[in-house]
Structure 1
Amino acid sequence: MTELLRTLFVTTPGTSLHLEGDTVRIRHPERPGRSVLPLVRIQQLVVWKGVEVTNDLLLRCAADNRGVTWLSRNGRFLGRVGGNQIGNPTLRLEQVRAHDDPQRRLEIAKSVVAGKLQNYRQLLLRVARDAEPTRQTQIRELAAAHADSLTAAASTRSLTDLLGVEGAAARLYSQNLPLLAKGVPPGRNRRPPEDQFNCVLSFGYGMLRVALTGALEQVGLDPYIGFLHGVRSGKPSLALDLMEEFRPLLVDRLVLTLFNRKEIATKHTIQDPAGGVTLTDDGRTFVLDRWSKARERIWQHSLLKREMPAGLLPNVQARLFARYLRGDQPAYQPWIAS
């Protein structure tokens, strides 16, 4: 049995984190009392702007290869400390060689897109089960369109054509979001999000990005050398690649559920003078609680033929990707919900 280690999320400004033996001590001047957590149970720390991490704790985390990630108040990535890189230069060389081989890069990108489209199709079919007849028909038609996109993606002969198929499917999905949750606006907007739904969705994608970046670093892969997303300065392209297969069922499904159940309240977000919508402190705490609980949900892994919590899936897929690059398996197989 593999233990699901915890991610420690600290969002409240003015909080400070200290090393105390083999534990992390959490202090806040307005919250008396002693809060201590054993480091052995913590896989990574994710802290928001305004939270202090003391030098001794940072050094201990670096020595243990325990990642520390900083995010802005609206969940935008600011930086990360991960300790010494895993000493696996041979694996990284294989990653670069695969990226520089146009045919191999295309095949990997096709696997990434196939995982995304298939899991979006699964999400749509799951939502359709509980929908009223007219809406059910529309959602199933959308799922059928994703099946057609899967076929089209498999037959593409260039990365440009593949990106065209993927982009068209993404636009079709986002324009039909009102079918999936009442009151949700059509289309996707970000940087900054302009409504509650897109705000929470972007936040969820930010959490997923943190999880994938950490998983790739633990295996010894370079998160910045991707295949579908290529190489872009400052962008963890491989993390973005592997995020694609997880977006539908680990993030979209959670956010759609929150809105269908009307769990996102007015107090959870605030609109800034520029028109962007961000989570409040209450909102961040609430969504992080739901995200943490969703990480414990058990999913079937069809390739490994075993059940595992959602929180372990990024680590498993990072290892499977490394196995593919080393030549231990003929292709990268994305996680597809069964």
Structure 2
Amino acid sequence: MKQHLNTLYVTREGVWLAKDGETVSIIDHGSSLMRVPLHNLESIITMGWDIGVSPQLLAACAASGIRLSFCDPNGRFLAAATGFTPGNVLLRRAQYRCADQPEAALNIAREMIAAKILNARHVLLRVDRDRSGINLEPVISSLAYSVQAARKARDAAELLGIEGNAADAYFSAFPTAIAHDDPAFIFCGRSRRPPRDSVNALMSFVYALLAHDCRSALESCGLDAAVGVLHRDRPGRPGLALDLMEEFRAVLDDRLVLTLINRRQIKPGDFTREESGAVFLKEESRKIVLSAWQERKKETIMHPVIGEKITIGLLPHIQARLLARHLRGDVDAYTPMLWR
């Protein structure tokens, strides 16, 4: 079983990352701020425009299978440095054949989208149970109907329409899950590229973190993260990573957003608003979110398919392995992660 290792997030502008023995050293103006053993890391993510990395560290990360990703300050992926691609060519050829066969790709996509809707419904069921004075039953019932419709979708276009309608219903109920009425956290629907309010800024940031983890998981299992089953091919887009993360969005990211807001770990002053109307997290606020994300990934659950207790951080890797088994023909269908 793969071990859950740590991810090192670097958000401080102007620092230099270098190899120091068997550690990565973060250097600022000639002084080492901290050292982290390489054997404790599965990935390093830089979030900034002025963060440098030494060639020696690049080589060490490639040799050790540590993914080094470069993102902008808001978590948007820019580039990655990786070593030799793991896995065998036969698995990737099977993946490409599946992607080129609409029915085969649709069979996987149906399960992923049905799981996304079911897991979103799970979040609303919890809100409906924990908060008095609200009635989410109409939305919860509509999501149950959408699950059945998704599993019967005749093509990708129909499936996308069902997913879009379910997302609209889910986000229409999302404001009821916010436990206080601070006007800074009023949510009027999903907005992105750029986010237009504080809640969307938080969502976009944690979605970027999840996308990175799904991309790394797929590539560590030998799959091509760019070739999706529902998110079709587009240069620079990790289609399969976006497919895989669908089943985790609500239960991992949206619940984390709600926790940060409802516990007031994130406050109205933690955001900046640009002249364009875009809203982003401040640097110190991003650190709070990153810390909470890492703690969330350390929590353990019993995986319903493999029957083992694992950390939440391993979920993308386990699902990537299950997908690879299906593509190789070892199992008849892909089994998504359903939250209980």
TM-score w.r.t. the length of structure 1 is 0.95
Please give the alpha-carbon distance, in whole angstroms, between the structure 2 residues aligned to 1:44 and 1:337.
26
Provide the residue aligned with 2:45 in structure 1.
46
Show structure 1 runs of 5+ residues with no match.
none
Provide the residue aligned with 1:35 in structure 2.
34
Give deviations 1:248-289, integer Å, cap 9, x for gaps: 111001101111222211332111121111111111111101
Provide the residue aligned with 1:73 in structure 2.
73
Please give the alpha-carbon distance, in whole angstroms, between the structure 2 residues aligned to 1:257 and 1:127.
12
Checking the alignment, whether the CA contact within 8 Å between 1:301 and 1:337 is kept in structure 2 is no
Name the aligned partner's letter for residue 310 of structure 1.
I
Provide the residue aligned with 2:128 in structure 1.
128
Name the aligned partner's letter for residue 18 of structure 1.
A
Offset of residue 74 of structure 1? 1.5
Provide the residue aligned with 1:92 in structure 2.
92
Please give the alpha-carbon distance, in whole angstroms, between the structure 2 residues aligned to 1:228 and 1:184.
31
Provide the residue aligned with 1:257 in structure 2.
259
Please give the alpha-carbon distance, in whole angstroms, between the structure 1 residues aligned to 2:321 and 2:151.
24
Offset of residue 3 of structure 1? 3.0
1:209 is aligned to 2:206: no
Please give the alpha-carbon distance, in whole angstroms, between the structure 1 residues aligned to 2:268 and 2:150.
40
Please give the alpha-carbon distance, in whole angstroms, between the structure 2 residues aligned to 1:28 and 1:87.
38
Checking the alignment, whether the CA contact within 8 Å between 1:69 and 1:79 is kept in structure 2 is yes
In the TM superposition, 1:145-294 aligns within 5 A as 145-181=142-178, 182=180, 183-294=185-296
Please give the alpha-carbon distance, in whole angstroms, between the structure 2 residues aligned to 1:143 and 1:54.
51
Q: Which moved more, 1:200-209 or 1:80-89?
A: 80-89
Offset of residue 34 of structure 1? 5.2
Q: Percent identity?
A: 39
Aligned length: 334
TM-score w.r.t. the length of structure 2 is 0.95
Provide the residue aligned with 1:330 in structure 2.
332
Name the aligned partner's letter for residue 21 of structure 2.
G
Please give the alpha-carbon distance, in whole angstroms, between the structure 1 residues aligned to 2:87 and 2:102.
27
1:142 is aligned to 2:144: no
- RMSD of aligned residue pairs (Cα, Å): 1.4
In the TM superposition, 1:292-311 aligns within 5 A as 292-311=294-313
Name the aligned partner's letter for residue 66 of structure 1.
I
Checking the alignment, whether the CA contact within 8 Å between 1:300 and 1:337 is kept in structure 2 is no
Name the aligned partner's letter for residue 171 of structure 1.
D
Offset of residue 52 of structure 1? 1.2
Q: Secondary structure at the match of 1:295?
A: helix
Checking the alignment, whether the CA contact within 8 Å between 1:153 and 1:162 is kept in structure 2 is yes
